Amino acid sequence: MTIAVADARDKKKRAFNWRSVAVHGCLIFGALLMIYPLLWLASSSLKPANLIFSDLSLWPSKIRLQNYVDGWRGAALPFSTFFMNSFIVSGLAVVGNVLACSMVAYAFARLNFIFKKTLFAVMMLTIMLPLHATLIPQYALFHKLGWVNTFLPLTVPKFLAVDAFFIFLMIQFIRGIPRELDEAATIDGAGPIRIYWSIILPLLTPALVTTAVFSFIWTYEDFLSPLVYLTSMDRYTVPQGLSLLMSSKGASSWGPLLAMSLLSLVPLFVVFFIFQRRLIEGIATSGLKG
Amino acid sequence: MSTTVSEATSLEATASSEARPRRRKAVGINARHNGVAFLFLSPWLIGLMFLTLGPILASFYLSLTSYDMFTPPQWLGLDNYVKMFTEDGRYYQSLRVTFTYVFLSVPLKLAFALGIAMLLNRGLKGLGFYRSVYYLPSLLGGSVAVAIMWRQVFAYDGIINQVLLKFGIDGPSWITSTDYALYTLVALAVWQFGSPMVIFLAGLKQIPQDIYDAAEVDGAGPVRKFFSVTLPLLTPIIFFNFVMQIIGAFQAFTPAYIISGGKGGPADATLFYTLYLYEQAFTNFQMGYASAMAWVLVAIIGLATVISFKSARYWVHYGDER
């Protein structure tokens, strides 16, 4: 029996070359299809308006860098304002999520306290909760506090660990850290705060990086919250800037719009290329949505 | 030898029984740390109180009122809900659009994700490269920039139609056609199959090779192996992806907003539930009505999740049953 299996495997190996060429061919074709729209975006952002829709080739026959200049200044305010706002909001969101979620995760993973089971169940339920369920009363609350048209409604919730998914991610990770380390530190006289800061936090780094990367991406891409809370243009984030540019210009200015669209994706590309292993691991192990 | 062991264990036993009452009180990592624990939990508890639980209850109250943000809410009872289901044609349209979107995009997305994951799970060279390329769209897909790009790709003079023209087909204006606009959004969702694909890949790696070998010895071909080994063993992951994608799809907003210019057009053909909710709340300031809509959305998503979990026992196989 084993000989038969080995024989079959040998045959497979000999026939494998052709099959593997076919599979690679399919995969490469699929990959091209997948990124074709992005390549098209990149090439169109460099084309003069009359070529965007008539010239199919990805290599522009005429390059027009002016699209970027026109786009940058195309909306009522330059894109530097929007990028700055986006980076402030996303940066604060990263800090907030990393700090707050790690604290809460440490408590759930390592400390004993009353109502722990109930609170854990509540935390898990809030992960499932659609954002719209709380949107309107939250808006009313922030309106009362005078926070509308500031960055506070977009950032303060992160410092209050509202993105419970990251708490769950970190709890799972902390459970993998040997408890002996905590015990040894306790014997040496360290309390929970010290253990959190000097033992758990450094060992939690991979999960913190995953959290930071996803917090950045999601906050940077988020359109609904800025749309609701940021009302004056000098506070707009990049997605709002793009939306503004799209509606303020006629169909004649696709070049600048596409140029700014591509530019707005650059920070995401950078994060992706630096952290792709972390990102993919984060999704594979915890089911984070991309 | 045996005496020393028993002595030692009895010593240990007495020591631990002596230590136990004390330990429970103060030292050791199993001790209760209510004070410190709640210090660590405090950010989350404040958030839970003021940004999650409080708002949920408030939104339920508001759903029973007429509220425009500027004057105090006025009690209406169930009027908002009644109006929603009896008078509001656009509400029905938004339900129709959203359900069509969910029921088309989720299965298609998962089918692509599983198909490509299986192709990739053959120990190919360059797996990392392929995985990254196929994953990239799902990372960028939620952004306004990609929605703008999509709008151009499917425009009347966009690349899809230019390619079709090469084959002698005069394509429609996808984005502005009531027949096709919604399907361009489904296509945009399916294009982002990367993240469930990565999860499927991780799951496929967990299936031990010897099960396939055993199946092969029993004479199973590739099709039989897929249906009798891969698919059953992957059902927990299919289930997880299914639930997460359903929850996400019901909440889709940005692409529909950008591609339809914020109106859900043409002729409400892409009036997603969330888009209509946004319009009622922040354009018409019908906050009470919008809250009622939000509650129905929560109920729909909750129901979809419960049904998924209830159905799971009939088709999801967990490892230990094997």
For residue B255, which residues of chain A lie inside 8 Å, CB to CB? Answer: none
d(CA B37, CA B317): 38
Is B117:B201 a contact under the CB 8 Å cutoff?
A: yes
CB of B202 less than 8 A from some CB of A: yes
d(CA A92, CA A159): 9
User: Of A67, A234, A49, A240, nearest to B258 (Cα)?
Assistant: A240
DSSP classification of residue B68: -
d(CA B266, CA B5): 83
Yes or no, beta carbons of B297 and A34 under 8 Å apart:
no
Q: How confident is the model at residue A50 (pLDDT cuts 50, 70, 90)?
A: confident
Yes or no, beta carbons of B55 and A258 under 8 Å apart:
no
Instruction: Determine whether A17 is exposed, middle or buried from the number of CB atoms within 10 Å of its CB (0-12, 13-18, 19+).
Output: exposed
* Average pLDDT over all residues of chain A: 88
> What is residue B142's predicted lDDT score, i.e. its pLDDT?
87
Q: How confident is the model at residue A253 (pLDDT cuts 50, 70, 90)?
A: confident
Q: Say how far residue B153 (Cα) sits from the centre of its chain.
A: 26
Q: Where are the alpha helices (DSSP H) in chain A?
A: 2-44, 49-52, 66-72, 79-110, 116-128, 132-144, 152-159, 164-175, 179-187, 192-195, 201-203, 205-221, 224-229, 238-248, 254-286
pLDDT in tens, B268-302: 999 999 999 999 999 999 999 999 999 999 999 99
ipTM of the complex: 0.88
d(CA B294, CA B287): 10
> What is residue A74's predicted lDDT score, i.e. its pLDDT?
82
Yes or no, beta carbons of B149 and A261 under 8 Å apart:
yes
d(CA B73, CA B265): 31
- In which element (H, E) is residue B287 found? helix B287-315
Q: What is the pTM of this model?
A: 0.88
For residue A258, pLDDT over 60 is answered with yes
**Rounded mean pLDDT, A92-112:** 96
Per the listing, tokens 């997603």 go with: B272
Yes or no, beta carbons of A40 and B159 under 8 Å apart:
yes
pLDDT in tens, A65-85: 888 988 898 888 999 999 999
> What is residue A119's predicted lDDT score, i.e. its pLDDT?
96
The DSSP line for A201-242 is HHHTHHHHHHHHHHHHHHHHH--HHHHHH--SGGG--HHHHH
**Rounded mean pLDDT, B17-42:** 65
Yes or no, beta carbons of B40 and A103 under 8 Å apart:
yes
Nearest residue in A to B139, CA atom:
A290
pLDDT in tens, B122-160: 878 888 899 999 999 999 988 999 999 999 889 888 888
- Give the whole-number percent of chain B exceeding pLDDT 70: 89
- Give the whole-number percent of chain B exceeding pLDDT 90: 62
Token pair belonging to A154:
């977009």
**Which residues 258-287 of chain B have a CB within 8 Å of chain A?**
258, 261, 274, 277-278, 281-282, 287
- The three-point CA angle A61-A63-A64 to 5° equals 140
> What is residue A266's predicted lDDT score, i.e. its pLDDT?
96
Yes or no, beta carbons of B139 and A111 under 8 Å apart:
no
> What is residue A59's predicted lDDT score, i.e. its pLDDT?
80
Q: To the nearest whole angstrom, how far is the Cα of B60 from the nearest Cα of chain A?
A: 9
d(CA A163, CA B47): 10
Q: To the nearest whole angstrom, how far is the Cα of A76 from the nearest Cα of chain B?
A: 18
